[in-house]
Chains A and B, each alone.
Chain A
Amino acid sequence: MPDLIEIRQVTKVFGRGATEVHAFGPVDLAIEAGQFVSLLGPSGCGKSTLVLMLAGLLERSAGTIRIGGKEVTGPQTDIGIMFQDNTLVPWRTVRGNVELQLEMRGMPPKPHADRVMSLLRAVHLEDFAERHPHELSGGMQQRAAFCQAMVHDPRIMLLDEPLGKLDAMTRERIRSDLQQLWMQQRPTVLFVTHSIEEAVQLSTQVAVITPRPGRIDRLIPIDLPFPRDLAVKNSPTFVGHVREIQEIFRGFGVI
């Protein structure tokens, strides 16, 4: 199977001359379709920068990025994207926000009503479809944002610390919802996080990123069955992966 995403020698440098900051790279990464890859690294290592460059929302300083064999030169529309601060608009209901994704693409929302509702049901928001974002908790808002990012059935999902602002218990619950959704729909996911456990629990592969300028230190395949419930998380393999990654970060001096 050919790789869906090919990242070659990609580098990002901010500023020029004396104020130049080498933020990221060079990085090589190849991702097969249907994989769930976590970019795991300390704050400021440039994980988000890579996601933005992949989405075509930020120009790279050097290197090539190909999606499905086609070079990324501008904003990619065949992706679903999520940020730490969600992109729900306050004037629309939860359903309206999910439909906004369709309307922005010139797709009438009516024929897709079933899909919208089934997505909301998958994240337990079916009873909140007609509520506005400010009436929801932070966790529910991020669930709604998942639906918004997935409703157009993208091949690729770029999730930039979507759980970053949530409390630990809410994170735990949404993680399992996210895993369910991924298992059902099987998009290719690039997931940015700085939680080791989160990365190991969700991913088929974990890319461990060094401190700035970020480089991929190691690509660790996580060979554990899905869904990864509490039993899996207590297994020696899981704990072993977490330890292994902790050792790497200790080597960097970040923990």
Chain B
Amino acid sequence: MASVLSEEPSLVAAIQGAIKQSWLFIAFFIGFFLFWEYSVVIFDIPRYILTPPSEVVRNGWADLDRLLYYTWITGVETLLGYVVAVVIALPLGLAIAFSSILRRTVYPFFVCLEMTPKIAFAPLFISWLGFGLLPKVIIVFLVCFFPIVLNAILAFNSLSEELTRFCRSTGAGAWRTFIKVRLPAAMPQCFVGFKYAAINATVGAAIAEFIGSDQGLGFYIQIVTGNMRPDLAFAGIFFLTLLGLSLFGAVTLAERLLIPWHISVRRAAGT
């Protein structure tokens, strides 16, 4: 009992602290939606142009089955493309970082490709592979692949001169040096790529669905917008955002679990 009693005030204090810190943001957030809600009424905006958020919630709720199903479809596309990108790009980045031949051939090629907007390939893939799952997975893969591979190359190439010398002076072999020093040292920069790719993954999926699809949230948003239903379009955007946040949250959680030391180092550095 004593421990419960002693913990309660601290929990309350924690919640109070959180509110104290972010009340301005919460107020702004509420203010934004209130402004949206009432500006539609005050400025007499037609409902087929913009609907108040209350209607987005009400009508979105009514269409929840379809929204959830399409979230599942787009979610599978996003996750598959993302996971395949990680699985291929990470070892490839590692190989490029350690092979001078790959660094002089594949690497500049990737840097050039990074400059081209990957989304521009979407119509081609749809025309080659049809309306199904595969072209969307490929688009998401393309969007995610480059930030991961380029950050991985940077990560595995950026061991400090001092640490490199330290490793050599111990006489440790390449494998032991990799496991004990190079790999953990590279993880923070790898996660920069993972996070950037996670933010962009849903963008790739949605645009791929805009271009050619018969299901998914991108398809849904396009269809309901065509039917003059901005309320449902916003509901679709909400679920798309939720999807992106979940992926980003999962990657951030993985970072916390895999390299917990990095978060405190970053915090200490004040960045």
Contact = CB atoms under 8 A, between A and B. Distances in A.
Interface string A57-98: 100000000000000000111010101011101110000000
A145 B115 CA distance: 43
B169 interface: yes
Instruction: Give the dominant DSSP class at A's interface.
Output: loop
A91 B184 contact: yes
Given A83-B162, A85-B160, A89-B184, A75 B264 contact: no
A134 B180 contact: no
14 contacts: A75-B168, A75-B169, A83-B162, A87-B162, A87-B165, A89-B185, A90-B261, A90-B262, A91-B184, A103-B180, A104-B172, A106-B172, A106-B176, A132-B265
A131 B17 CA distance: 28
Interface in B236-254: none
A213 B124 CA distance: 62
A55 B185 contact: no
B166 A87 contact: yes
A134 B269 CA distance: 8
Nearest to A52: B165
A86 B167 CA distance: 13
B199 interface: no
A135 interface: yes
Contacts of B168: 57, 75
Interface string B148-190: 0000000000001011011111111000110011001100000
A83 B163 CA distance: 10
A103 B264 CA distance: 25
Interface of A: 52, 55, 57, 75-77, 79, 81, 83, 85-87, 89-91, 100-101, 103-106, 132, 134-135
A14 to B, nearest CB: 15
A116 to B, nearest CB: 16
Contacts of A89: 163, 181, 184-185
B66 to A, nearest CB: 47
Contacts of A57: 165, 168-169
Nearest to A135: B268
B192 interface: no
Contact of A105 (B160, B170, B185): B170
B76 interface: no
Contacts of B265: 90, 132, 134
Contact of A132 (B166, B171, B261): B261
B259 interface: yes
Contacts of B184: 89, 91
Given A75-B169, A85-B160, A89-B185, A104 B176 contact: yes
B165 A81 contact: yes
A147 to B, nearest CB: 14
B177 A104 contact: yes
A143 B162 CA distance: 17
Contacts of B169: 55, 57, 75-77, 79, 81
A101 B168 CA distance: 11
A163 to B, nearest CB: 15
Contacts of A83: 162, 165
Contacts of A90: 261-262, 265
Given A57-B169, A77-B170, A91 B264 contact: no
B171 A75 contact: yes
A105 B262 contact: no
A50 B28 CA distance: 62
Contact of A91 (B166, B167, B171, B259): B259
Contact of B166 (A52, A81, A103): A81
A104 B160 contact: no
B188 to A, nearest CB: 9
A197 B37 CA distance: 74
A145 to B, nearest CB: 10
Given A87-B163, A89-B163, A105-B170, A100 B262 contact: no
Nearest to B260: A91
Contacts of B163: 87, 89
Contacts of A135: 268
A173 to B, nearest CB: 23
Instruction: In the A-B complex, list the 8 residue pairs whose CB atoms are closest, starting with the nearest.
Output: A77-B171, A104-B170, A87-B166, A104-B172, A91-B261, A134-B268, A75-B168, A83-B162
